[in-house]
Amino acid sequence: MATAKKKLVQWEPTDIKKELLKKYPAKVARKRAKQILINEAQENTTPEITANVRTIPGIITMRGCTYAGCKGVIMGPTRDIVNLVHGPIGCSFYAWLTRRNQTDAGPDGENYMPYCFSTDMQDSDIIFGGEKKLAAAIQEIYDLFHPKAITIFATCPVGLIGDDIHTVARNMKEKLGDCNVFAFSCEGYKGVSQSAGHHIANNQVFSHMVGENNEEKAGEYKINLLGEYNIGGDGFEIDRVLKKCGITTISTFSGNSTYDQFASAHMADLSCVMCHRSINYVADMMETKFGIPWIKVNFIGAKSTAKSLRKIAEYFGDQQLIDRVEAVIAEEMPAVDAVREEVLPRTQGKTAMLFVGGSRAHHYQDLFAEMGMKTVSAGYEFAHRDDYEGRHVIPHLKVDADSRNIEELEVEADPERYSPRKTEAELKALEEKGYKFKEYDGIMPDMEKGSLVIDDLNQYEAEKLVELMKPDIFCAGIKEKFSIQKLGIPMKQLHSYDSGGPYAGFKGAVNFYKEIDRLVNSKVWSYMKAPWQESPELSATYVWE
């Protein structure tokens, strides 16, 4: 019987790197060489990667802008805050419900997410200034909806003409009296990527909302879930599991979040950081100001979910919680294992490439590993060196003109509300048992030696990588989707999940196994040949050739 043999592609990482750089002019090649790394991460010898630097103009990056990181990523999933974009309509329209962050309006029913709020700036506003129009828009929103808060987002032209959005916000807050109004200087060009926008958003959330509500919250084992954005319903699945364990989520930053969750976040006893890139500094500020320790968790992957639950239980140290968590894991795992064992013979040994944002390219390697799949190349679009190499590099990060542009808040212990959740002795006892606070080792130590780690991958390199290494699946975003599929390789969007999800937690793992099995074992894309592949009529050359 003829069995289909898996294709074997032989390649040396050094040759791949050379191939990727070959087409570039010398200066571009030199710059990109520092962002393409052959992984040799061993204890203490993680090689240094260049990250969080400007993209080469015209190279067709996968990145987004600072406004996208602020308005879309951090504030996008907040449901009872009206997010008003000050700018031309396109900046709003293209950010309107495209991220698939899901919402449950809850018993209060307050949900502004389906709306698209914009000042719709015109040429005349650019010439004469848009402040009056902005104030009028805030008033109109207030009269129509009477929301708890209105936030304002600056787009590129607003920064260029110098509208003072913060003064408008302050005046309107005073005038309205019972509505919190504040603004974000998150012009698209403000930083090198959306990562700058995360920081601008989080600083303002921390300054204008966190700590406003001092009411005691009901429930036991109170945590904040930081950096979970409920894409495709991930947050709902995590909530389900946490609830089943008896853990109370005081706030989620910011999947399906409400104003009150931000305002009450300082009432939690532990911060759990899911996406390190977008929010680790908030976890630090919560600790400095209120005394809440933080740990890194990961709910992508069934094993990782179990591990994270155990870590939370260990922190609280209560036997009742520890037992409950074990019972939940024991109850959830059989269904996960059944599907995993079913797909494993078909997925084992297949290869994946992951180029996503600032955390998923790492987290999703756990899910692929559970299916016996190897990640041969991965990278982030906009992560910083600590997300690649681990937090120990933070003190050595170079400060450049771009990073200096993004404010670092100076935070001090709150004179009344700072209260350490654990004594020094308790923390030490946990640490002696191997418990790690404020710890993230980054993507590289988890990747195999010789795998390729690439920062800010672009269109050309993506296609070249696929051509040379022929992975069984390529994971990135919508901009990459169709060009990769045209190369005959299945492509899974790990930002929006295409139309799927959730992929977090236990039920999410089952969804993911089934989806990836279907994709890597379907041959449909390899049967497709574009007309120009069969009869090319035009071929392009680069100007420097």
Asked if 443 is part of the footprint of ligand CFM (rule: CB under 6 A), the reply reads no
Provide φ and ψ at 501, rounded to 5°.
105, 175
Choice among 63, 198, 266, 276 that is catalytic? 198
Give the number of other CB atoms < 10 A from CB of residue 87: 27
Provide φ and ψ at 300, rounded to 5°.
-95, 115
Contacts with 299 (C-beta within 8 Å, 6 or more apart), sequence order: 228, 234, 237, 238, 241, 274, 305, 308, 504, 505, 508
Options 95, 275, 329, 519; binder of ligand CFM; rule CB under 6 A: 275
Provide φ and ψ at 294, rounded to 5°.
-130, 150
Whether 116 is a known active-site residue: answer: no
Nearest Cα neighbor of 382 from 448, 445, 454, 444 is: 454
Give DSSP secondary structure letters for 47-87. Answer: PP---S-PPPTTS-BS---HHIIIIIIISTTBSSEEEEEES
In this structure, what token pair is assigned to residue 157? 């032209």
Asked if 384 is part of the footprint of ligand CFM (rule: CB under 6 A), the reply reads no
Whole-angstrom Cα distance, residue 372 to residue 432?
A: 33
Options 199, 222, 277, 492; binder of ligand CFM; rule CB under 6 A: 277
Q: In this complex, which beta carbon is closest to ligand CFM, that of residue 295 or of residue 329?
A: 295
Whole-angstrom Cα distance, residue 116 to residue 470?
A: 41
SS3 97: coil
216: which DSSP letter? P
How many positions of this chain bind ligand CFM (CB under 6 A)? 16
Whether 352 is a known active-site residue: answer: no
Asked if 492 is part of the footprint of ligand CFM (rule: CB under 6 A), the reply reads no
Contact 191, 66 (CB under 8 A): yes
Contacts with 353 (C-beta within 8 Å, 6 or more apart), sequence order: 375, 376, 377, 378, 465, 466, 469, 471, 473, 474, 475
Least Å distance, CB 359 to ligand CFM, is 4
Asked if 296 is part of the footprint of ligand CFM (rule: CB under 6 A), the reply reads no
Least Å distance, CB 441 to ligand CFM, is 17
Asked if 365 is part of the footprint of ligand CFM (rule: CB under 6 A), the reply reads no
Options 83, 180, 278, 304; binder of ligand CFM; rule CB under 6 A: 278
In this structure, what token pair is assigned to residue 208? 């204008």
Q: Which residue is nearest to ligand CFM (CB)?
A: 357
Asked if 194 is part of the footprint of ligand CFM (rule: CB under 6 A), the reply reads yes
Least Å distance, CB 369 to ligand CFM, is 18
User: Pattern 227-246, binding to ligand CFM, x per CB under 6 A?
Assistant: x-x-x---------------
Choice among 41, 51, 65, 306 that is catalytic? 65
Least Å distance, CB 203 to ligand CFM, is 16
Contact 66, 406 (CB under 8 A): no
Whether 65 is a known active-site residue: answer: yes
Residues in 44-73 at the binding interface with ligand CFM, rule: CB under 6 A? 69, 73
Options 147, 358, 502, 505; binder of ligand CFM; rule CB under 6 A: 358
Least Å distance, CB 357 to ligand CFM, is 2
Asked if 254 is part of the footprint of ligand CFM (rule: CB under 6 A), the reply reads no
Whether 362 is a known active-site residue: answer: no
Of the candidate spans 1-9, 159-167, 353-361, 409-417, the one that interacts with ligand CFM by CB under 6 A turns out to be 353-361
Residues engaged in binding ligand CFM (CB under 6 A) = 69, 73, 99, 194, 227, 229, 231, 275, 277-278, 356-360, 495
Catalytic residues: 65, 68, 99, 198
